Amino acid sequence: MRVPPREVLPPLSVDEARHSEALMAVIREQLGQGGGWLSFERFMELALYAPGLGYYSAGSHKLGAGGDFVTAPEVSDLFSRCVARQCAQILALTGGEILELGAGTARMACALLAELAAAGCLPERYAILEVSADLTQRQRDRVAQLPRVLRERIVWLTQLPSAPFTGVMLANEVADALPCRRFVLSGGGMLELGAALDPAGRLTDTAAPPAAVLLNECTRLFAELDAPLPEGYVSEVCLRADAWVASLAEVLQRGALLLFDYGLPRRHYYHPQRDTGTLRCHFRQRVHDDPYINVGLQDITAWVDFTRLAQAGLTAGLDVEGFATQAAFLLASGIEAMTGAATSDRERVRLAGEARRLMLPEEMGEAFKVLALTRGLQVPLAGFALQDLRRLL
């Protein structure tokens, strides 16, 4: 029998409970304005980004061993060094700068700049666009430890550049945190899932007639699939991904947008056997599927429909230059040589363990994918030399 997450997760401190309740008060107010129901997209937006209260807007230890989840740059600098090699190829063609969207603790930024410095291919500047004040401070603290020649290249932005951008845009585990809509197939039709309050005053999933934009999109989406989806099927649609990619494409004059995330091509994402969706929550290194607990204190994500990102890129005038698993991208970018270049047996064992975690199918190697959207590049990208999965998009 499934044990509800609220019964097995670590208890909240007094301050955490107070913070979560403050955000719940905002959500209850929104529920009242919405007739007692909120689309999941709006709930997720509040839970993650409500000013001063949402998970990414308020202070909390999110990343690393003491946080809620671990990203590839936190696993090993091998990841960032491989990304740097791909950036070096692009920058050699375009010049310009690097823009990282959501830089976490800035560990990737620091490792990537060090690798580019060693290769003699530093960008004009390294811009970080970050929505979390807490993470921005952590980034500044880490960057302050860099050599002056590197730290002086890093700047922080509060919005996308207004001037045309040339160079490389990086988004590692950003698209999965875009607020999404959820649906369930019921009675031969479709209902939209959203948040409401149960008799005890707790948030719960509640179905309602779908918004027209969701119904129209799902009708189009289902027509592309190889097989019909079964009764009771639950999943997500991230409508905001289209506008997000379009906003980046509007800025990108020449260069590449590299997207790293866990996800699937559409026909695999909406497979009949994947009937409970991909929504996941992360709280203190534990993964569960209840977004309505620990509100404002846990991450909420859904896997990425990479077909949607690719189509959005094409619509915005970008080229789909590469799509591969993270393992294939890292191998093509020289991770084996980096591991083999260790100067001691102890270091070699450590790096080999980190590389396995980044590349093994049961770890990050297969679930995570890399998508390259480009403008004005006429050469194959080195990171996709070993695998081309674009036919699956």
Tens-place pLDDT, residues 30-59: 999 999 999 999 999 999 999 999 998 875
Structure tokens at 379: 């050469």
Confidence of residue 63 (pLDDT cuts 50, 70, 90): very low
**Considering only CA atoms, which of 40, 374, 30 is closest in space to residue 239?**
40
Angle between helices 77-94 and 345-359 (to 10 degrees): 70
Q: What is the mean pLDDT of the chain?
A: 94
Average pLDDT over residues 263-273: 97
Tens-place pLDDT, residues 302-338: 999 999 999 999 999 999 999 999 999 999 999 999 9
64 phi-psi bin (left φ>0, alpha ψ -120 to 50, beta other): left
Asked if 245 and 309 count as a contact pair (C-beta separation under 8 A), the reply is: yes
Whole-number Å distance between alpha carbons of 232 and 235? 10
**Domains contained in the chain, CATH given:** 12-180+236-393 (3.40.50.12710)
Provide the whole-model pTM.
0.95
DSSP 3-state of 2: coil
DSSP string, 235-297: EEE-THHHHHHHHHHHHEEEEEEEEEEEEE-HHHHT-TT-TT---EEEETTEEES-TTSSTTT
Tens-place pLDDT, residues 116-141: 999 999 999 999 999 888 889 899 99
DSSP 3-state of 384: helix
201 phi-psi bin (left φ>0, alpha ψ -120 to 50, beta other): left
